[in-house]
């Protein structure tokens, strides 16, 4: 991940949804209500609840099938018996799963709805911030950090918005812009709440899923970003980001390539997020250029971080 230091104002940009990824980013975003900083605390103390704490209207844990997955491997990954996993997904052909297909992951033979989730590996939450939109919706970001030496996959958290009396207003699952978080890196989970959300709504976060991968998992390739550049529009409300994705000569060809750009303000708060998806593959030892626009958030941007994911 590379960082570029600059001073500007960005607003959160749109990302087209991708049926093969685990990050449901909506197609278009509303402009932000103001350019003031979020009223939520800079630190998440008191906002992160235990994984055992009940949450309002639990969201079923859904796993997205990736290239190379088998039903048996998925069952082993989540410590679920194969017959139980098949029973929870009666409409899924275990011998004909398609990339991007959704599977419910049950936690026990008695629960085939997928509502309970596997116990996640622990990871620190560095920041929680929610920003209102002009139509009274709200974007929420949960900045998480992978402090383990292994790649962590399928990180998610339940974000519940509370009113001033502590009552639940809405609850949804937030996801990373990528399927994985490399060691010693940070990325935000994100989720959009549709109107009408009060301006003084406060977020509560509960970690749902995080899977530590064994070293050398063949589903992910060691791609990197290089020569990244950020060019801010004269208005300061949007920026063109560009660079190249490089793939080592020893790797397999990459058919799926994602780049995430995360913008931060001078206080270290998330100021913008977008995921770019390539329609072109990369051959071993080759590179792929990327260029996209990140638009609109509260506060001036001091830096932009990049993260990449490549799969065979």
Please tell me the total number of residues recorded for the chain in this structure.
312
**In 64-115, which ranges are continuous DSSP H helix?**
71-77, 82-88
The per-residue pLDDT string of the chain (312 residues; one tens digit each, 9 = 90 and over) reads 444 433 333 334 433 333 333 333 333 333 333 333 333 434 443 366 654 444 443 344 678 888 888 888 888 777 677 877 887 788 888 888 888 888 887 654 444 444 444 556 677 889 998 988 888 899 899 999 998 888 998 888 889 999 888 889 999 889 999 999 999 999 999 999 999 999 999 999 988 888 888 888 888 999 999 999 988 787 767 778 999 999 999 999 999 999 999 988 878 888 889 999 998 999 999 999 999 988 766 777 778 899 999 999
Q: Which two tokens stand for residue 196?
A: 């009408």
pLDDT given at position 296 = 61
Contact status, residue 139 vs residue 172, Cβ threshold 8 Å: no
pLDDT tens readout for residues 256-271: 999 999 988 878 888 8
The pLDDT of residue 124 is 86
- What b-and-e string marks burial along 131-170, b requiring 16 or more CB atoms within 10 Å of the CB? bbbeeebbbbbbbbbbebeebbbbbbbbbbbbeeeeeebb
Exposure b/e, 262-294, CB count within 10 A at least 16 = b: bbbbeeebbbbbbbbbbeeebeeebbbebebbb
**pLDDT number for residue 113:** 42
pLDDT of residue 117: 46
Distance of CA 17 to the CA centre of its chain: 12
Question: What integer pLDDT is reported at residue 312 of this predicted model?
Answer: 93
Two tokens, residue 42: 């800079």
Q: pTM of whole model > 0.75?
A: no
The pLDDT assigned to 286 comes to: 96
Cβ atoms of 1 and 262 within 8 Å: the answer is no
pLDDT of 49 reads 60
C-alpha 127/C-alpha 42 separation (Å) is 6
- Tell me what pLDDT residue 54 has: 42
Show the domains of the chain with their CATH numbers. 21-51+120-212 (2.60.40.3230), 62-104 (3.10.350.10), 224-311 (2.60.40.10)
| Res 87: pLDDT | 78
- Cα radius of gyration rounded to whole Å, the chain: 19
> Do strands 125-132 and 186-193 pair parallel, antiparallel, or not at all (unpaired)?
unpaired
């Amino acid at each position: 991940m590379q960082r570029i230091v600059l001073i500007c104002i960005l607003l959160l940009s749109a990302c087209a949804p991708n049926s093969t990824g685990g990050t449901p980013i909506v197609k278009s975003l509303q402009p932000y209500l103001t350019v003031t900083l979020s009223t939520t605390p800079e630190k998440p103390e008191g906002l992160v609840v235990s994984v055992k704490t009940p949450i309002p209207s639990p969201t079923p844990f859904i796993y997205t099938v990736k290239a190379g997955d088998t039903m048996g491997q998925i069952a082993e990954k989540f410590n679920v018996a194969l017959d139980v996993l098949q029973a929870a997904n009666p409409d899924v052909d275990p011998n004909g799963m398609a990339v991007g297909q959704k599977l419910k992951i049950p936690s026990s033979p008695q629960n085939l709805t997928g509502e309970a989730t596997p116990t996640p590996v622990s990871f620190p939450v560095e920041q929680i911030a929610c920003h209102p939109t002009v139509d009274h919706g709200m974007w929420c970001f949960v900045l998480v950090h992978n402090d383990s030496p292994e790649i962590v996959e399928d990180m998610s958290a339940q974000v519940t918005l509370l009113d001033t009396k502590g009552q639940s207003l809405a609850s949804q699952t937030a996801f990373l812009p990528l399927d994985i978080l490399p060691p010693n890196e940070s990325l935000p989970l994100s989720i959009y709440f549709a109107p009408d959300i009060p301006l003084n709504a406060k977020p509560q976060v509960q970690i749902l899923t995080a899977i530590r991968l064994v070293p050398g998992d063949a589903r992910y390739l060691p791609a990197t970003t290089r020569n990244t550049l950020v060019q801010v529009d004269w208005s300061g409300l949007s920026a063109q980001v560009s660079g190249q994705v490089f793939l080592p000569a020893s790797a397999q060809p990459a058919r799926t390539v994602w780049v995430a750009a995360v913008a931060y303000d001078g206080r270290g708060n998330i100021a913008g997020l977008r995921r770019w998806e390539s329609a072109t593959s990369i051959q071993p030892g080759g590179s792929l250029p990327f260029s996209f626009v990140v638009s609109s958030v509260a506060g001036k941007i001091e830096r932009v971080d990049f993260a990449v994911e490549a799969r065979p």
